[in-house]
Amino acid sequence: MAEPHKPTPQQRRNALLSAAVLAAMVLGIYAVFMLKVFSA
Amino acid sequence: MSTATHAHDTHGHDHAHAHDHHGPPAGFSRWMYTTNHKDIGTMYLWFSFAMFLMGGSMALLIRAELFQPGLQLVEPQFFNSLTTVHGLVMVFGAIMPAFVGFANWLVPMQIGAADMAFPRMNNWSFWLLIPAALLLVGSFFVPGGAAASGWTLYPPLIIQQGMSIDMTILAVHILGASSIMGSINIITTILNLRAPGMTLMKMPLFVWTWLITAYLLIAVMPVLAGAVTMLLTDRHFGTSFFNAAGGGDPTMFMHIFWFFGHPEVYIMILPAFGIVSQIIPAFARKPLFGYASMVYATSSIAILSFIVWGHHMFTVGMPAAGNLFFMYATMLIAVPTGVKIFNWIATMWKGSMTFETPMLFAVGFLCLFTIGGFSGLVLAITPVDITLHNTYYVVAHFHYVLVSGALFAIMAGIYFWLPKWTGHMYSEGLGKLHFWLSMIGFNVAFFPQHFLGLAGMPRRIPDYALQFTEWNQISTVGAFIFGFSQLLFLYIVISTIRGGAKAPDRTWEGADSLEWTHLPSPVPYHTFETAPVVK
Amino acid sequence: MPVKLTRAVAAAAAFLSAPVLADYHVDILPPATPIAQEIYNLHFGILWVCVGIFIVVFGAMFWSVFAHRKSRGAQAAQFHENTTIEIIWTVVPFVILIAMAYPATKTVLDMKDGSNPDMSIKVTAYQWKWEYDYLQDGVRYFSSLSTPREQIEEHEKPGPKKNPNYLLEVDNPVVVPVGKKVRLLITSNDVIHGWYVPQLGVNQYGIPGFVKDAWFKVDKPGRYLGQCSQICGKEHGYMPIVVDAVSAEDYAKWIADKKAKMPPPPAPVADATPAAAAPAEDPNKKWSVDELKANGAKVYAANCQACHGAEGKGTPPAFPPLAGSKVANGPKGAQIDLELKGKPGTAMASFAQLSDADLASVITHTRTSWGNKGGEVMPAEVKSARK
């Protein structure tokens, strides 16, 4: 708890970018899937 | 494989006591608010063990009822609830969280990172499991009883039941959200927080298998979420996705469910492959035979897992072309799986082996998982599958891959890393006793189920014809031996946490990943705050 | 629960010591159709290939476990990666798989070839019974478990000795002629079921709203047993399938007999064979209310109890209680209609196959039991409602 570790700013930026891409993947799969079945 | 040097060893042995200064706060708030990957890993593992005992008790009640023909202990509807919730609890509550627990503990240490990329999201991923588990188990106590449609939740049967289904659907949604957050965290950590010099192809295989597993989770969990959302709207909002009377098709649910369900099977086995790939070289004192081919084999299995779902549906009545396609694709999985088995054996070949408990479980895994693989090959053959579909042969098959596969690998991993985590050696004698009891109990419980299936005994029935009696009795005896020997495991783990001989930093002489070569036992609360340099 | 457990253990001990039918069967049941024979051969072949591979691969492993252990002074070699051997162990399994896939493909195509059947039977699954409709011969009937309930329920005390074919016996078996290609058109009325008779090589889901087909041709006369293979609710374990394969003459005789016993909906047929059809009740008999109630209890136990419970409590919400229900306390006409037509979209199927008297009895039973005050219904009222 005391001192949280500090990734480098570069790592932090890359990590947020990866997470955003992955989250977009999840939402994308869900959205495409639901739109497909609701329009079918 | 990964030779590394101490760049800045801020936590040498002499400083092992120094972590007291910035150690965790005591009591409940430590666990509630923790963002430490080790604490979260520990909580995942304990959660998983609690669910394992719960699901196991349900299994023992099932086996007790099946000890003889006739209904002695439970009512048929409650029996169906038991089989259903046993499956859901074991898959989503025991096996998956156990592997996430390992990932939390090991991924940062093995790649030389200080923690996961998103520690607060990590905390949330864990604590979401608790309400999900309460919903799942609490559904036993609502009118109509817990979900009783089998863990596959097929409509229209599931539409008939009461509010327990809504609770189950909500639980599945929460568990899915937890898995997705966990996966994003793991992928991000692996891709971005590796120590200098830790290239992808130098990562320990456990990290590789989890990277691939996390991608599988991200791909299929939204599909499962979609499927259960459709069930929910069919139940309450007048849609008819799966209702033929309204223009829907129950078969579509099966397609969607198994499009999730088959990758899910590999989600539960790939991290097991990773653990075993760490343990066998360590005890053979010899590098893994084919590191690169193991990585490629794991990836191939993951990719193939998306095109084999139809083999769960050969009795639906797909056209011949569909049956043939899914049969060929399924058989193809035997090739990369074989590559892995051969690699492990080639690693053992001409090694200098010792057989401590982790290695015993790993060798047990190797033999029994292969039996499960062979029965999988038998079931891949469409015509044979049709005659064995939904019989006890299938039950035997997936328990060989999930219990003696995934669960044995988890046990092996616990014994392997427990000295590193706690700083104490477990009792080798008791560990070996636990292994042999599990090995014997498991085989006595599940091998006869192959025979029951071949003789045509359907699964998920509370009562059976007289000719199935003998094998069922033997199976029940084995199940109780297996079940109760897990209490010994609990005792071993607790006594190791509380005390025992001091474990050396490099507990196993053949183990060479960063947590063994760079960190003391027990590992301090914070590790690798400055990254090591890997050559 | 502890009391039950001790009782179960005691019963189990008695059971183990009794000279039970020792049946340690370890193989697929003897096949009765050409397809089942092909399946048997496929399984047999693949099983032994797997056993062979297992012995070779794990022979190597156990040799290694035995010989290459540290306690025997083994030094670890440090070799790894060998392209030749890695190619070999990728290609050899691939070739073995192709050798397995070839005969399997042939069988898949044979199983799917339902062309030119000699006869067709439409199979409809219900929770929890089967309906068979012989499309050419005009025979249609229900088939459900005939094992007495008291042999099954052992919660309180061990039941009476179980029948030899406990749980694999039905009131009306499927009868088919040997040597004829029988096509099954399988569907369901409520949830997904599975028509599974292992010795015939058939296991096919019945899916509500869709008709799927399967076929078999039995070579030798005999009785073949199966069960529902897909979980379909509470009584999933209690909907067996019995297929009797008989000679062509016996089949013709059975059809004629069955037709004579069919309930009368197409009125003129029934008149042709009056009292001959054994104890079938006299359509003109005058029923007293007590007779209706007594008969109704029997009909209820056979047809309704599985869902609605012996005490009429049901298992809500899928199976509503009858005690205090609006239907059983409401207008007679509505309930008669419900029994005759069923309730679409639920497990409540039509019971129009029952005779007027049986329907009137069971309706009377439900309307006068468990505190219900709906009053009795006479067979004539059912008869007029059928029109």
Query: Taking CB atoms and an 8 Å limit, are B526 and A23 in contact across chains?
Result: no
Residue B60, both tokens:
């023992």
Query: Taking CB atoms and an 8 Å limit, are B387 and C90 in contact across chains?
Result: no
C51-64 pLDDT tens trace: 999 999 999 999 99
Neighbours of B535 (CB within 10 A): 9
Range in B43-57, B246-260, C126-140, C271-285 with the lowest mean pLDDT = C271-285
What confidence score (pLDDT) does residue C7 get?
56
Q: How far, in Å, CA of B237 to CA of B388, rounded? A: 37
Chains C and A touch (3+ CB pairs under 8 A): no
Instruction: Look at strands C193-197 and C202-206 and give their pairing.
Output: antiparallel
Query: Taking CB atoms and an 8 Å limit, are B387 and C28 in contact across chains?
Result: yes
Which residue from B114, B118, B222 is facing A26, i.e. has the nearest CB?
B222
Q: How far, in Å, CA of B180 to CA of C384, rounded? A: 62
Q: Residues C127, C257: one domain?
A: yes
Task: Give counts: helices (H), strands (E), chain A.
Answer: 1, 0
What confidence score (pLDDT) does residue B2 get?
40
Q: Residues C197, C106: one domain?
A: no
- Residue B345 near residue B339, CB atoms below 8 Å: no
Interface of B with A (CB under 8 A): 21-25, 30, 33-36, 113-115, 117-119, 180, 183-185, 187-189, 191-193, 218-219, 221-223, 225-226, 229-230, 241, 526, 529
Q: Which residues of B are catalytic?
A: 86, 115, 151, 178-179, 262, 264, 266, 277, 311-312, 337, 340, 459
- Residue C196 near residue C211, CB atoms below 8 Å: no
Q: Residues C140, C224: one domain?
A: yes
Query: Taking CB atoms and an 8 Å limit, are B25 and A1 in contact across chains?
Result: yes
Substitution target from B11, B29, B125, B184 for chain A, most A beta carbons within 10 A: B184
What confidence score (pLDDT) does residue C263 get?
62
Task: Indicate the residue type of B106.
Answer: L
Q: Report the pLDDT averaged over residues B497-520.
A: 91
Asked whether residue C284 is assigned to any structural domain, the reply reads: no
Residue B222, both tokens:
């939204």
Query: What is the 3 state secondary structure string of chain C?
Result: CHHHHHHHHHHHHHHHHCCCCCCCCCCCCCCCCHHHHHHHHHHHHHHHHHHHHHHHHHHHHHHHHHHCEHHHCCCCCCCCCCHHHHHHHHHHHHHHHHHHHHHHHHHHHHHHCCCCCCEEEEEEEECCEEEEEECCCCEEEEECECCCHHHHECCCCCCCCCCCCCCCCECCCEEEECCCCEEEEEEECCCCEEEEEHHHCEEEEECECCCEEEEECCCCCEEEEEEECCCCCCCHHHCEEEEEEECHHHHHHHHHHHHHHCCCCCHHHHHHCCCCCCCCCCCCCCCCHHHHHHHHHHHHHHHCHHHHCCCCCCECCCECCCCCCHHHHCCHHHHHHHHHHCCCCCCCCCCCCCCHHHHHHHHHHHHHCCCCCCCCCCHHHHHHHHC
The Cα of B34 is separated from the nearest Cα of chain A by a number of Å equal to 7
- Residue B345 near residue C53, CB atoms below 8 Å: no
Asked whether residue C28 is assigned to any structural domain, the reply reads: no
- What's the complex ipTM? 0.89
**Chain B CA closest to residue C71:** B354
Instruction: Determine which helix (DSSP H) or strand (DSSP E) holds A5, and give its type and residue range.
Output: none
- Residue B363 near residue C4, CB atoms below 8 Å: no
Query: Taking CB atoms and an 8 Å limit, are A15 and B117 in contact across chains?
Result: yes
Q: How far, in Å, CA of B275 to CA of B362, rounded? A: 9
Q: Which of B213, B331, B350, B336 is nearest to B268 (CA)?
A: B213
Which residue from A4, A22, A29 is facing B223, i.e. has the nearest CB?
A29
C257-287 pLDDT tens trace: 988 877 655 444 444 444 344 444 566 677 8
What is the second-level CATH architecture of the domain B269-523? Up-down Bundle (1.20)
CATH 1.20.210.10 domain range(s) in chain B: 49-251, 269-523
Question: Does residue B143 register a pLDDT over 90?
Answer: no
The verdict on C15 touching B (C-beta cutoff 8 Å) is yes
Confidence of residue C312 (pLDDT cuts 50, 70, 90): confident
The verdict on A27 touching B (C-beta cutoff 8 Å) is yes
Q: Residues C229, C314: one domain?
A: no
What confidence score (pLDDT) does residue C317 get?
65
Strands in C240-246's sheet, in edge-to-edge order, are: C174-177, C240-246, C222-228, C193-197, C202-206
Mean of pLDDT over chain B: 92
Q: Residues C340, C238: one domain?
A: no
Q: What is the CATH number of the domain that holds C316?
A: 1.10.760.10
Question: Does residue C196 register a pLDDT over 80?
Answer: yes
Range in A17-31, B15-29, C3-17, C131-145 with the lowest mean pLDDT = C3-17
DSSP B141: G
CATH of span B49-251 = 1.20.210.10
Asked whether residue C382 is assigned to any structural domain, the reply reads: yes
Q: How far, in Å, CA of B179 to CA of B218, rounded? A: 8
What confidence score (pLDDT) does residue C79 get?
81
C 314-353 residues with CB below 8 A of B? 315-318, 344-347
Confidence of residue B188 (pLDDT cuts 50, 70, 90): very high
**Chain C CA closest to residue B328:** C101
The verdict on A24 touching B (C-beta cutoff 8 Å) is no
Q: Report the pLDDT averaged over residues B213-220.
A: 95
Domain limits for position C58: 34-67+81-112
- Residue C367 near residue C375, CB atoms below 8 Å: yes
**Percent of chain B scoring above 90 in pLDDT:** 85
Q: In terms of pLDDT, which residue wins out, B533 or C2?
A: B533
Asked whether residue C268 is assigned to any structural domain, the reply reads: no
**Chain B CA closest to residue C46:** B378
The Cα of B332 is separated from the nearest Cα of chain C by a number of Å equal to 8
Query: Taking CB atoms and an 8 Å limit, are B315 and C229 in contact across chains?
Result: yes
Q: How many CB pairs under 8 A join A and B?
A: 80
The verdict on C235 touching B (C-beta cutoff 8 Å) is yes
The Cα of B111 is separated from the nearest Cα of chain C by a number of Å equal to 23
| CB-count exposure of residue C72 (10 Å: 0-12, 13-18, 19+) | exposed
Q: Residues C123, C257: one domain?
A: yes
Q: Residues C138, C105: one domain?
A: no
Instruction: Look at strands C129-134 and C119-126 and give their pairing.
Output: antiparallel
Q: How far, in Å, CA of B209 to CA of B295, rounded? A: 8
Query: Taking CB atoms and an 8 Å limit, are C25 and B467 in contact across chains?
Result: yes
Domain count, chain C: 3
Residue B65, both tokens:
């009822």
Confidence of residue B77 (pLDDT cuts 50, 70, 90): very high
B193 contacts in chain A (CB < 8 Å): 7, 11, 15
- Residue C375 near residue C368, CB atoms below 8 Å: yes
- Residue B386 near residue C39, CB atoms below 8 Å: yes
What confidence score (pLDDT) does residue A10 get?
85
Confidence of residue C176 (pLDDT cuts 50, 70, 90): very high
Asked whether residue C4 is assigned to any structural domain, the reply reads: no
Q: What is the CA radius of gyration of chain C?
A: 28
Query: Taking CB atoms and an 8 Å limit, are A18 and B193 in contact across chains?
Result: no
Of B4-13, B411-420, B506-515, give the range with the top mean pLDDT: B411-420
DSSP B149: S
The Cα of A27 is separated from the nearest Cα of chain B by a number of Å equal to 7
Q: How far, in Å, CA of B269 to CA of B373, rounded? A: 12
- Residue B336 near residue B297, CB atoms below 8 Å: yes
C23 contacts in chain B (CB < 8 Å): 466-470
DSSP B5: E
B156 contacts in chain C (CB < 8 Å): 190-192, 208
Query: Taking CB atoms and an 8 Å limit, are B226 and A30 in contact across chains?
Result: yes
Query: What is the 3 state secondary structure string of B61-86?
Result: HHHHHCCCCCECCCCHHHHHHHHHHH
**Residue B318, strand partner residues:** none
B222-277 pLDDT tens trace: 999 999 999 999 999 988 889 888 888 999 999 999 999 999 999 999 999 999 99
B377 contacts in chain C (CB < 8 Å): 46, 50, 100
Which residue from C89, C112, C207 is facing B250, i.e. has the nearest CB?
C207
Asked whether residue C6 is assigned to any structural domain, the reply reads: no
The Cα of B178 is separated from the nearest Cα of chain C by a number of Å equal to 30
The verdict on A32 touching B (C-beta cutoff 8 Å) is no
The Cα of A11 is separated from the nearest Cα of chain B by a number of Å equal to 6
Which residues in chain A belong to E strands, given as ranges?
A: none
What confidence score (pLDDT) does residue C283 get?
62
B286-334 pLDDT tens trace: 999 999 999 999 999 999 999 999 999 999 999 999 999 999 999 999 9
Q: Residues C61, C90: one domain?
A: yes
Q: Residues C193, C128: one domain?
A: yes
Q: Residues C353, C298: one domain?
A: yes
What confidence score (pLDDT) does residue B17 get?
43
Range in B137-146, B409-418, C31-40 with the lowest mean pLDDT = B137-146
Chains B and A touch (3+ CB pairs under 8 A): yes
Look at phi and psi of residue C342 and say left if phi exceeds 0, alpha if psi is from -120 to 50, else beta: left
Q: Residues C153, C258: one domain?
A: yes
- Residue B290 near residue C86, CB atoms below 8 Å: yes
Query: Taking CB atoms and an 8 Å limit, are C8 and B320 in contact across chains?
Result: no
Degrees (nearest 5) of the Cα angle B392, B395, B401?
145
Q: How far, in Å, CA of B4 to CA of A24, rounded? A: 36
Q: Residues C306, C380: one domain?
A: yes
Query: Taking CB atoms and an 8 Å limit, are B115 and A29 in contact across chains?
Result: no
Q: Report the pLDDT averaged over residues C240-268.
A: 83
B454-488 pLDDT tens trace: 999 999 999 999 999 999 999 999 999 999 999 99
- Residue B127 near residue B99, CB atoms below 8 Å: no
What confidence score (pLDDT) does residue C277 get?
40
Question: Does residue B89 register a pLDDT over 50?
Answer: yes
What confidence score (pLDDT) does residue C17 get?
44
Question: Does residue B15 register a pLDDT over 60?
Answer: no
Range in B132-136, B394-398, B469-473, C154-158 with the lowest mean pLDDT = C154-158
Q: How far, in Å, CA of B10 to CA of C289, rounded? A: 93
The Cα of A1 is separated from the nearest Cα of chain B by a number of Å equal to 6
C204-232 pLDDT tens trace: 999 999 999 999 999 889 999 999 999 99
- With contact defined as 3+ CB pairs under 8 Å, the chains touching A are B
**Percent of chain B scoring above 70 in pLDDT:** 96
What confidence score (pLDDT) does residue C365 get?
86
Q: In terms of pLDDT, which residue wins out, B121 or B245?
A: B121
Query: Taking CB atoms and an 8 Å limit, are A15 and B218 in contact across chains?
Result: no
